Amino acid sequence: MTIGVPDRGRKTPIFRPSETLLTLWKHYNQDDLCSFFGLLESAIRVFNYLGRKNAERLIGISSMHIAPKLSTLPSKLIGISQVNIKTSVNRRSDHFNEQQGLFGQRQHPAPSSASHRNLLDANLSSEISLITLDTICLFTQYFNDSLHSSYNSSITKRLFDIYLLFLRTNQSELFLKHLFKAFKLLIIKIPAVLFEGDTSLCGQFCYELLRLCNSPLPNLRIEASTLLFTLMKTNYQFTNNKHFIRVHVQTVKSVSQLLEKQLQLNSTTQSHIDDSLRLINNYAKYEKNVQFQAEVSDLITRIHTVIMSMNQLSSYEDNDEMYIDLLYKIAQSYTSTSELRKTWLECMARKHQKQQNYAEVGHCYLHIAALVAEYLKRREIYDLGCDGFNKISLNMKLDESSMKNDVYLQDIHYTMKDLIHYLTKAGHYLHISERYEILGEIFNKLIVPIHEQNRDYQALAIVYGQLQDSYSKAVDVNKSGKRLLGSYYKVAFYGKNIFYEHDKAYVYKEPFVTQLPMIRERLEKLYSAYGKVKMILDSNKLNQFENDVSYIQIVFVQPYFDSIEIKDRVNEFERSNNIRRFYYDTPVTLDGTKGHTQQIEQQCKIRTILTTSHSFPYVKKRIEIIDQIELHLSPLETALDEIRTKNSEIRAILNEEPIRIVMIQLLLAGSVQPQVNVGVMAYAQAFLDETKVKYYNQKLINQLKNELSDFLCLCNDLIIVHERECTADQRTYHQTLVEAKMNLNDLLKPFLDNVDNLDQMLLSSKLTLFNSESDYTTA
């Protein structure tokens, strides 16, 4: 008995009568039924038709293995074995030659030929598939009520898995025609399986149907398009003629996934997909419901938009920044549709992963996690939402808080498990990128409370183990000083040859310590493909342009922190994370001439402060500059800034844990030794001399005095730390540093107050050093 498939003139039943199967199924429990369907899946996989070339290759391999085995048999048995093999093949041949071939008219090639064997395999594969389809149609017919009431059960999902497997394996056109009819009947009878609860099953069917909509076989495209339209219409009816959001979202998502693998449609495949979409649109025009027609038209428009975007991506395969920017633009267009936004963020993550941009991969998954968290907050499942990510990065709240409470949101079914999954994934890639310190915020503040609430102690043990490893790595890299979290450059584009970049400026994040010549070479090679390019490596403003030349200006920039913010960013990681302001200085003289001068009283500088739209690190490596201001610093302000910058550098090293003795020695050598302290003295003599001080702003003069006093105090701290950390063979060098520092104090005494107190501290340090050396000598 066959259900859902027309009779094919079968002479004898190939599988057990329906009564027997029904009796078995009624006595089976849920696990037994799942196992039964598992056997059907195995049969489909085992007898899957591999194609003529693969079949011939496998036959050749099989013959190579059989021949040596026959050669080891006694001579009397060799003939018997060969007869048995031939008899087996002939029986199989006779059985399939009794009926018309499923792949065409009756054929009678020589039984021993490879083409005959291939025909047997093809017919056997189709026969197995038809038997399996008969079986599951029989089950659906007799257990329809049970399937409808328990649409979310493992049995129902296993049943639909078989349908998916049919679509994913090689099948004949004849079988697919029967399959589409059976599937159409199934979605009409049990729509809740696809349109309620988890969206993944609906998404998988949309994906496979769209793949078949691009088939080179016209009949197959028509069947797939018709079934996809049926899916839309059934979803619309299931929501009481309100919308078919689930199929809409999953279809756009599937198109994105398919095109990501292929990237660009050629003229033939473009024609195939256009034909399928046109057919679906024509079906909709015959529907009386105007709203349904409009929604189908909107979906097709969105699909065309995605196809155009993906085709555009193919032209930027060699330009990583432009490629990611385009993906980013598409993702941003779906800020209110979280499922589609998630799809494009995952696409960006995969692209970054190929380029080994692991910090950016981690932030792509952080944005997905924030998106899920915001959804859970709207559903009152999770308290924090995007706000829980503020200490990690403010980008999440900026990008992921615009989710709309509409029908799109109602069809999403994220869980706390999804949130943990994406947070864990983000943590994994941020660990690889050596941003160990941020994992405390991810694991300890976001993941641990969830596991504690669930009393999942095994998961807690794993998380704390990962935290221990991350913090240990943080200690190691801070101690070694070998971690390099990136270099930053302002890159500005001018010229019509690269019209899409004209008059735009970005901050580029480059890996490790990328030197200016390296980024120059990369960008010059990249953009030369669009025409003549001129590289500019200074910060001067461009006023004149040649029409046929594109200009790229590259300037090294550093993170900018004001006097308040710098106090909270005490170590290297904090000064490399969550940063969106950068600066660079252009030296000028009082008369406006660009460059340096030997006269400190004449040396000025223009400080340019850049603000980007988002903070680094982000989901992309370059971020557009949205604001730029210039600060004109007078000679006194320039000197004050130089001393202040030096003091910040010393404080940062002193605050490191553990202390790096090499950095302490470098700072001391660059601060107190006679050949390098000329700069400090030059500033004091230029602005604090009795004959000159009266010409300057008294407030700035006091600030300069304070900064110079702080400089001497910080050098004292460096001396004390060096005394504590240096080894016995470095004591003589330490004494030299102490004497150099005392000499510097003497030189600055005429300009500053309270220098005598610093001398007393150094004398104490020197005395301690002398005593320790005596003890060492005695020992």
> pLDDT per residue over 547-599, tens digit each?
888 899 999 999 999 888 888 888 889 999 999 999 999 999 998 888 888 88
Out of 448, 480, 512, a domain closes at 480
Any idea which residue has 């988890």 for tokens? 198
Let me know if residue 19 belongs to a domain: yes
Residue 553 near residue 519, CB atoms below 8 Å: no
pLDDT band for position 100 (cuts 50, 70, 90): very low
pLDDT by residue (tens digit) across 19-44? 888 888 888 888 898 899 999 999 99
Kind of pairing between the strands at 532-536 and 579-589: unpaired
Q: What does the alpha-carbon distance between residue 78 and residue 242 come to, in Å, rounded to a whole number?
A: 72
Overall number of domains in the chain? 5
User: 61 by DSSP, 3-state: which?
Assistant: helix
Any idea which residue has 């950095």 for tokens? 663
Out of 442, 462, 480, a domain closes at 480
Residue 247 near residue 202, CB atoms below 8 Å: yes
Residues 89 and 175 in one domain: yes
* Average pLDDT of span 214-237: 93
Residues 122 and 8 in one domain: yes
Q: What does the alpha-carbon distance between residue 168 and residue 332 come to, in Å, rounded to a whole number?
A: 32
pLDDT band for position 350 (cuts 50, 70, 90): very high
Q: What is the pTM of this model?
A: 0.79
Q: Judge whether residue 671 has pLDDT over 90.
A: no
1's tokens: 């008995």
DSSP string, 650-690: HHHHHT-SS--HHHHHHHHHTTTSTTTTHHHHHHHHHHSST
Residue 756 exposed, middle or buried by CB count within 10 Å (0-12, 13-18, 19+): exposed
Residues 654 and 706 in one domain: yes
Residues 282 and 215 in one domain: yes
Contacts of 334 by beta carbon, 8 Å cutoff, 6+ apart: 340, 341, 344
Residues 503 and 620 in one domain: yes
Strands, E assignment, 545-703: 549-559, 579-589, 603-616, 622-633
Residue 407 near residue 423, CB atoms below 8 Å: no
Q: What does the alpha-carbon distance between residue 236 and residue 292 come to, in Å, rounded to a whole number?
A: 8
Residues 36 and 177 in one domain: yes
Bond into 74 cis (ω within 30) = no
DSSP string, 347-396: HHHHHHHHTT-HHHHHHHHHHHHHHHHHHHHHTTS-S-GGGGGTTT-THH
Residue 251 near residue 299, CB atoms below 8 Å: yes
399's tokens: 């990008």
Mean pLDDT of the chain: 83
734's tokens: 């330490």
Look up the domain containing 368 and give its range: 331-480
Residues 707 and 740 in one domain: yes
Q: What does the alpha-carbon distance between residue 511 and residue 166 come to, in Å, rounded to a whole number?
A: 46
What's the confidence (pLDDT) of residue 281?
Answer: 93
Q: What does the alpha-carbon distance between residue 334 and residue 327 come to, in Å, rounded to a whole number?
A: 11
What's the confidence (pLDDT) of residue 371?
Answer: 93
Residue 423 near residue 369, CB atoms below 8 Å: yes
Question: H/E element holding 532?
Answer: strand 532-536
* Average pLDDT of span 648-667: 84
Residues 666 and 770 in one domain: yes
Q: What does the alpha-carbon distance between residue 493 and residue 530 come to, in Å, rounded to a whole number?
A: 13
Provide Rg for the chain, Cα atoms. 37
> Side-chain half-sphere of 489: how many Cα atoms within 13 Å?
23
Any idea which residue has 């690190």 for tokens? 617
Report the CATH number at residue 359. Answer: 1.25.40.410
Q: What does the alpha-carbon distance between residue 321 and residue 352 come to, in Å, rounded to a whole number?
A: 10
Let me know if residue 322 belongs to a domain: no
Kind of pairing between the strands at 622-633 and 504-510: antiparallel
pLDDT band for position 103 (cuts 50, 70, 90): very low
Lowest-confidence range among 35-39, 66-70, 213-217, 342-346? 66-70
Phi, psi dihedrals of residue 554, rounded to the nearest 5°: -120, 125
Residue 136 near residue 162, CB atoms below 8 Å: yes
What's the confidence (pLDDT) of residue 500?
Answer: 76
321's tokens: 């920044």
Let me know if residue 324 belongs to a domain: no
CB burial of 223-235 (b: ≥16 within 10 Å; e: otherwise) equals: bbbbbbbbbbbbb
Residues 628 and 531 in one domain: yes
Let me know if residue 326 belongs to a domain: no
Question: H/E element holding 35?
Answer: helix 30-46
Q: Judge whether residue 81 has pLDDT over 50.
A: no
Q: Judge whether residue 200 has pLDDT over 60.
A: yes
Residue 232 near residue 186, CB atoms below 8 Å: no
Let me know if residue 296 belongs to a domain: yes
Out of 190, 216, 243, a domain closes at 190
pLDDT by residue (tens digit) across 224-234? 999 999 999 99
Q: Judge whether residue 8 has pLDDT over 50.
A: no
Residues 73 and 128 in one domain: yes
pLDDT band for position 85 (cuts 50, 70, 90): very low
Q: What does the alpha-carbon distance between residue 519 and residue 522 come to, in Å, rounded to a whole number?
A: 5
622: amino acid identity, one letter:
R
Bond into 109 cis (ω within 30) = no
Lowest-confidence range among 424-428, 486-490, 742-746? 742-746
Report the range out of 192-201, 326-335, 348-357, 691-700 with the highest average pLDDT.
348-357
Contacts of 335 by beta carbon, 8 Å cutoff, 6+ apart: 341, 399, 400, 402, 403
User: 2 by DSSP, 3-state: which?
Assistant: coil
Q: What does the alpha-carbon distance between residue 580 and residue 367 come to, in Å, rounded to a whole number?
A: 17
Greater confidence, 753 or 320? 320
* Average pLDDT of span 399-405: 78
pLDDT band for position 156 (cuts 50, 70, 90): confident
Let me know if residue 320 belongs to a domain: no
Contacts of 90 by beta carbon, 8 Å cutoff, 6+ apart: 111
Residues 594 and 558 in one domain: yes
Q: Enter the DSSP assignment of 241.
A: S
511's tokens: 């890996």
Residues 61 and 184 in one domain: yes
Q: What does the alpha-carbon distance between residue 623 and residue 645 come to, in Å, rounded to a whole number?
A: 26
pLDDT band for position 59 (cuts 50, 70, 90): low
Q: Enter the DSSP assignment of 594.
A: B
pLDDT by residue (tens digit) across 284-297? 999 989 999 999 99
Let me know if residue 27 belongs to a domain: yes
What's the confidence (pLDDT) of residue 91?
Answer: 40
What share of the chain in percent tops pLDDT 70?
83
Let me know if residue 195 belongs to a domain: no
Distance from the Cα of residue 284 to its chain's centroid:
37
